[in-house]
């Protein structure tokens, strides 16, 4: 799964890196994003835009928000079948901007946090789906979920699942809702073992209250 991640590259740089037409997000940079927080997401809506959404999908047909932020992840293997995600997968795919994500290695006695990032240090785009929910008061809330899949051979030593990262060469098709699902499904693979690296970080990341650059330093203050 993916329960925490980091999104701290300035939006001005992301605009250029991902060839964005318009930025509509004022989500704050964060080294420790947790479910329910607001994040920056790329969508297609009369152009390629960065918008702000809450992390944790609330399907449009939900009666309320109770338990909504538990749906932070969608499994790639069942995304075309699950009622909460299948329509969004067809019509509302997005790219969730990230500089890295956290996972916890189970050592038996305790869980050790590790940070996962691209070896080249660049930001990347996680596969996501989104939806809009209208509250009884008439407020429209945009929310999203990160798609996960089986971990690659190296990361399996930490956890059996990891988020899907969409390659730059595939991002245009991923955001194109006219594409047949069978063209998109092959994108739902784990990052190549040659592209990513991970290392242990400070246990301070265990608390969402902690949010600073020290959290992603190798070793931290363990």
Q: How confident is the model at residue 68, as a pLDDT?
A: 64
Per-residue pLDDT tens over the stretch 86-109 = 999 999 999 999 999 999 998 878
In a domain, 29, yes or no: yes
Q: What is the mean pLDDT of residues 192-218?
A: 94
In a domain, 37, yes or no: yes
Alpha carbons 123 and 103: distance in angstroms, whole number: 18
Q: How confident is the model at residue 110, as a pLDDT?
A: 86
In a domain, 199, yes or no: no
Catalytic (active-site) positions? 2, 103
For the chain, the domain total comes to 1
Q: How confident is the model at residue 47, as a pLDDT?
A: 93
Contacts of 102 (CB under 8 A, 6+ apart): 3, 4, 5, 6, 32, 113, 114, 115, 116, 201, 205
Is the pLDDT confidence value at 180 over 80?
yes
Q: How confident is the model at residue 13, as a pLDDT?
A: 94
CATH code of the domain in which 165 resides: 3.90.1680.10
Structure tokens at 162: 């990891």
Alpha carbons 122 and 6: distance in angstroms, whole number: 12
What is the signed CA dihedral for 99, 2, 56, 183, rounded to 10 degrees? 80
The DSSP letter of residue 30 is E
Q: How confident is the model at residue 107, as a pLDDT?
A: 80
Is 216 within 8 Å of 6 (Cβ atoms)? yes
Q: How confident is the model at residue 218, as a pLDDT?
A: 94
Contacts of 200 (CB under 8 A, 6+ apart): 105, 112, 113, 114, 218, 219, 220, 222
Alpha carbons 166 and 190: distance in angstroms, whole number: 9
In a domain, 78, yes or no: yes
In a domain, 55, yes or no: yes
Per-residue pLDDT tens over the stretch 118-128 = 999 999 999 99
CA atoms within 13 A on the CB side of 17: 17
Is 1 within 8 Å of 35 (Cβ atoms)? no
Q: How confident is the model at residue 1, as a pLDDT?
A: 65
In a domain, 138, yes or no: yes
Alpha carbons 76 and 186: distance in angstroms, whole number: 10
Per-residue pLDDT tens over the stretch 139-173 = 999 999 999 999 988 888 899 999 999 999 999 99
In a domain, 214, yes or no: no
Is 98 within 8 Å of 125 (Cβ atoms)? yes
Per-residue pLDDT tens over the stretch 14-61 = 999 999 999 999 988 999 999 999 999 999 999 999 999 999 999 999
Q: How confident is the model at residue 220, as a pLDDT?
A: 58
Q: How confident is the model at residue 190, as a pLDDT?
A: 86
Domain range enclosing 151: 4-103+118-192
């Amino acid at each position: 799964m993916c329960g925490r991640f980091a999104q701290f590259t300035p939006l001005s740089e992301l605009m250029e890196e991902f060839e964005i037409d318009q930025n509509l997000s004022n989500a704050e940079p964060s080294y420790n994003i947790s479910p329910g927080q607001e994040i920056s997401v790329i969508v297609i809506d009369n152009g390629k835009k960065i918008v702000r959404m809450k992390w944790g999908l609330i399907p449009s047909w939900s009666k309320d928000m109770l338990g909504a932020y538990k749906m932070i992840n969608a499994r790639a293997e069942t995304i075309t079948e699950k009622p909460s995600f299948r329509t969004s997968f067809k019509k509302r795919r997005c790219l969730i901007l990230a500089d890295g994500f956290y996972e916890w290695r189970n050592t038996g006695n305790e869980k050790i946090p590790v940070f996962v990032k691209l070896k080249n240090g660049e930001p990347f785009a996680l596969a996501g789906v989104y939806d809009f929910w209208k509250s009884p008061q008439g407020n429209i809330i945009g929310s999203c979920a990160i798609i996960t899949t089986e971990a690659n051979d190296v990361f399996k030593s930490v956890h059996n699942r990891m988020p899907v990262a969409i390659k730059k060469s595939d991002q245009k098709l991923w955001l194109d809702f006219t594409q047949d699902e069978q063209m998109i499904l092959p994108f739902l693979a784990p990052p190549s073992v040659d592209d990513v690296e991970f290392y242990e970080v400070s246990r301070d990341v265990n608390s969402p209250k902690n949010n600073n650059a020290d959290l992603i330093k190798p070793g931290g203050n363990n």
